[in-house]
């Protein structure tokens, strides 16, 4: 009996020790935070938020297309299969490394507000509807969709395959159906009750018997397939000057909308210079202007003054520095980031190391609570990020979004897509840089990232998640550069976020009444949570939105690519 009890005790201790070792992340490769290994391949790599989109992009690479063609094919596929995050009713931004010209290119493919709706006209419409701000499910929130023009711009400049070949698989999936994945199904079913009563064809287009599709159900969108066929046959003008634009114009007039044919005919994407800073020898690139990418660079400039490597990942000191730098930078984000056609963004000041040093001096031992803030409107956002790389060395970092989930829910019958509600992010404060004006691009949260080292492309990466995205970019980069994680481990490591900063939609003089709210994933030790609370931070474990991530790193020594994708949801990295 005693022998039997001892045997059971030793068995329990062995199993406990095995579990504890695994729980500590002691994988065979010795990585403490990774859920799995990186994907490694020589000829090409794709990382998207949907496995089938990844496969579509890989097939394009294998059939003679390049990274640009693959990115367009993947984005068309995610727009079909993940309408909860993106689609051709939304906008797009991309950073592209073009190997032949040895140059980094950046495109702003975001749309503008209606030319026929003035600021005073907007205020009258809001007053008539009893609203004090632009609402997400109102036609006032619809700006011109820029994604399609973005596709044709990058394809015209860099693409190899004809668009009919790039869109072939998305058309087939739209017409013949695809199985809906788990996380997408969950978000889809949450959106349907809110949006299915919207004017237009939402219910006919995006539901099965009036409900969002369940995990594993086969879903078809033949209307979107037909729209893709028009684009493949007639090009971008089918969307902005011909059939599609005319249908949208007529529907908007019938439903008291504000976009007109002229808004589409006048639309154009813009090739711009990215904003950049050097962080510990790495050149980090982002999109500026009406996009929050500058916040990533400002945070890195502040954090460069700390020895994060010695401080350690997930420690109280590191977490405090990260949270406080975010709070400081988001004040600048609220007051300065806006459409560069309407506002001169003071990059020379915002991105200077001297300015970062001054801001860093404001970080003390206690949590800051005397900075401006406003209502929460953009902390959560639904987006897709994808990245592709090819055998030649081209790399694409692309992000695309409807803004809130499935957008407005307004679907023109026969077109198969919902309009974005990005116009919600205009301020109605007449003195705000991001105030509403006709023909203006609203503030955007979606940001693609890119890193160069010694003048060579190194890392294409990004994460979705509304206002979380600068935090996510900084977390990924510090995990890799300061804490020596690989790119899969960097995405899998426990995350944090902070809510409560001033928003670009608010008045500039609103005051913060507390330190905001910090959310931390459970992988951060609870002792750190206690110590952060002692510093004055309001901390909650879980219940936050921590974004979703993809990344590709180029290894020039071995001439291979490393790929990583979000382990928390449906994404996949794959190569060949």
SS3 268: coil
Pairing state between β 275-279 and 496-499: unpaired
Residue whose entry in the numeric block shows the structure tokens 């159906």: 177
The question of whether 21 is a catalytic residue gets the answer: no
| Contact criterion met (CB below 8 Å) for 87 and 63 | no
Please tell me what DSSP assigns to residue 140. Answer: G
The sign of the dihedral angle between the CA atoms of 287, 290, 292, 296 is positive
Residue whose entry in the numeric block shows the structure tokens 């010694």: 454
Catalytic member of 77, 84, 383, 505: 383
- Provide the token pair at 78: 């995610």
Residue-wise DSSP of 512-542? -SS--EEEE-TTS-HHHHHHHHHTT-EEEES
Pairing state between β 538-541 and 517-520: parallel
Q: Exposed, middle or buried: residue 14 (CB in 10 Å: 0-12, 13-18, 19+)?
A: exposed
| Contact criterion met (CB below 8 Å) for 515 and 369 | yes
The whole-angstrom separation of Cα 401 and Cα 194 is 19
In angstroms, the Cα distances linking 293 to 179, 296, 443, 507, 541 are 34, 6, 11, 21, 27
- Provide the token pair at 93: 């931004």
452 φ, ψ (degrees, to nearest 5): -115, 150
The sign of the dihedral angle between the CA atoms of 141, 142, 148, 149 is negative
In angstroms, the Cα distances linking 236 to 151, 192, 227 are 9, 30, 11
Question: Which active-site residues does the annotation give?
Answer: 383
């Amino acid at each position: 009996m005693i022998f039997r009890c001892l045997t059971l005790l030793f068995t329990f201790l062995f199993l406990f020790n095995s579990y504890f070792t695994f729980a500590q992340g002691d994988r065979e490769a010795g990585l403490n935070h990774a859920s799995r290994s990186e994907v490694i391949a020589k000829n090409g790599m794709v990382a998207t938020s949907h496995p089938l989109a990844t496969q579509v992009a890989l097939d394009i690479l294998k059939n003679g297309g390049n990274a640009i063609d693959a990115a367009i094919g993947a984005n068309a596929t995610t727009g079909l299969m993940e309408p909860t995050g993106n689609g051709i009713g939304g906008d797009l931004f991309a950073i592209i490394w073009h190997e032949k010209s040895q140059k980094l290119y950046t495109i702003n493919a975001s749309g503008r507000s209606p030319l026929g709706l003035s600021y005073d006209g907007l205020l009258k419409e809001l007053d008539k509807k009893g609203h004090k701000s632009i609402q997400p499910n109102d036609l006032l929130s619809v700006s011109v969709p820029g994604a399609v023009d973005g596709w044709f711009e990058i394809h015209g400049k860099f693409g190899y395959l004809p668009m009919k070949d790039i869109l072939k698989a998305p058309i087939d999936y739209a017409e013949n159906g695809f199985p809906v994945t788990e996380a997408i199904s969950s978000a889809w079913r949450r959106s349907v009750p809110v949006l299915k009563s919207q004017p237009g064809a939402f219910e006919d287009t995006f539901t099965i018997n009036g409900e969002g599709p369940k995990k594993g159900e086969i879903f078809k969108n033949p209307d979107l397939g037909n729209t893709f066929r028009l684009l493949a046959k007639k090009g971008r003008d089918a969307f902005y000057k011909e059939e599609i634009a005319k249908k949208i114009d007529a529907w908007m007039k019938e439903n008291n909308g504000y976009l007109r044919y002229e808004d589409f005919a006048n639309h154009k994407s813009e090739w711009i210079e990215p904003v950049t800073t050097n962080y510990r020898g790495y050149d980090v690139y982002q999109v500026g202007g009406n996009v929050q990418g500058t916040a990533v660079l400002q945070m890195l400039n502040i954090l460069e003054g700390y020895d994060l490597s010695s401080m350690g990942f997930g420690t109280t000191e590191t977490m405090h520095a990260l949270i406080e730098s975010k709070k400081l930078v988001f004040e600048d984000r609220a007051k300065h980031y806006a459409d560069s056609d309407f506002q001169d963004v003071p990059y020379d000041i915002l991105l200077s190391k001297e300015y970062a040093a001054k801001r860093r001096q404001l970080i003390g031992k206690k949590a800051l609570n005397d900075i401006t803030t406003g209502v929460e409107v953009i902390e959560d956002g639904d987006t897709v990020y994808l990245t592709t790389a090819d055998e030649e060395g081209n790399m694409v970092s692309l992000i695309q979004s409807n803004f809130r989930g499935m957008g407005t829910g307004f679907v023109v019958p026969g077109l198969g897509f919902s309009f974005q509600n990005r116009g919600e992010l205009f301020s109605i404060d007449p003195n705000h840089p991001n105030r509403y004006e006709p023909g203006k691009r609203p503030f955007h949260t979606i940001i693609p990232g890119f890193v160069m080292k010694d003048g060579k492309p190194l890392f294409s990466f990004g994460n979705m998640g509304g206002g979380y995205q600068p935090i996510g970019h900084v977390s990924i980069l510090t995990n890799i550069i300061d804490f020596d994680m690989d790119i899969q481990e960097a995405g899998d490591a426990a995350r944090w976020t902070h809510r409560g900063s001033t928003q670009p939609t608010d008045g500039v003089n609103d005051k913060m009444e507390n330190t905001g709210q910090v959310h931390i994933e459970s992988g951060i030790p609870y002792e750190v949570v206690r110590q952060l609370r002692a510093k004055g931070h309001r901390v909650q474990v879980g219940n936050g939105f921590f974004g979703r991530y993809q990344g590709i790193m180029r290894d020039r020594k071995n001439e291979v690519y490393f790929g990583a994708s979000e382990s928390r949801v449906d994404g996949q990295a794959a190569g060949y």
